[in-house]
Amino acid sequence: MNDDLVYDLADEMARDPHSLAFVRLADLLRRSGRSHEARHVAFAGLERHPYLADGHDVLARIMVDGGDEVSARDEWEMALRLEPTHAGALKGLGLLAYHRGDLPTAHRLLTQAAELDPSDQGLVTAAEQVRAQLGTALPPARRATPAPPPRDPVAARAPGSAPQDRPGGVHDPRTLFASLLGDGDRTALLLDSDGLVLAGTYVDASGVEVAEEIGAQLAGLADEAGRALTYLGLGAWESLLVETQHATVAMGPSREGSIVLVAAARDSQVGFVRRLLARASRQAASWLESAA
Partner 1 sequence: MNASFESALTEVAAVPGVRAVLLASEREGLALNAMAAFGVDGDALAAFGTALYRRARLASEAAGYGATRQIVLDATGGRMLVTGCGDLVLVVLAERETGAGMVRMAMQRAARAVR
Interface residue list for partner 1 (CB under 8 A): 148-151, 153, 204, 213-214, 217-218, 220-221, 224-225, 227-229, 231-247, 249, 263
Q: How far is the CB of 231 from partner 1 (least distance, A)?
A: 6
Contact 166, 99 (CB under 8 A): yes
DSSP symbols for 250-269: EEEE-GGG-EEEEEEETTS-
- CA-to-CA distance for 179 and 110, rounded, in angstroms? 19
- Dihedral angle over CA of 155, 114, 94, 25, nearest 10: 50
- CA-to-CA distance for 12 and 15, rounded, in angstroms? 5
Nearer to partner 1, 59 or 276 (CB): 276
Q: How far is the CB of 259 from partner 1 (least distance, A)?
A: 13
Q: How far is the CB of 217 from partner 1 (least distance, A)?
A: 5
In one letter, which amino acid is 151?
Answer: R
Distances in Å between the Cα of 40 and the Cα atoms of 3, 36, 106, 120, 122 are 18, 6, 30, 28, 28
Nearer to partner 1, 57 or 204 (CB): 204
H or E element, residue 200: strand 197-201
Nearer to partner 1, 72 or 205 (CB): 205
Nearer to partner 1, 103 or 216 (CB): 216
From the list 189, 183, 154, the residue with the least C-alpha distance to 281 is: 189
CB within 8 Å of 70: residues ≥ 6 apart: none
Nearer to partner 1, 7 or 51 (CB): 7
Nearer to partner 1, 43 or 237 (CB): 237
Q: How far is the CB of 143 from partner 1 (least distance, A)?
A: 16
Nearer to partner 1, 185 or 204 (CB): 204
Q: How far is the CB of 183 from partner 1 (least distance, A)?
A: 21
From the list 82, 92, 91, the residue with the least C-alpha distance to 49 is: 82
Number of Cβ atoms within 10 Å of the Cβ of 174: 20
Q: How far is the CB of 249 from partner 1 (least distance, A)?
A: 7
Q: How far is the CB of 30 from partner 1 (least distance, A)?
A: 22
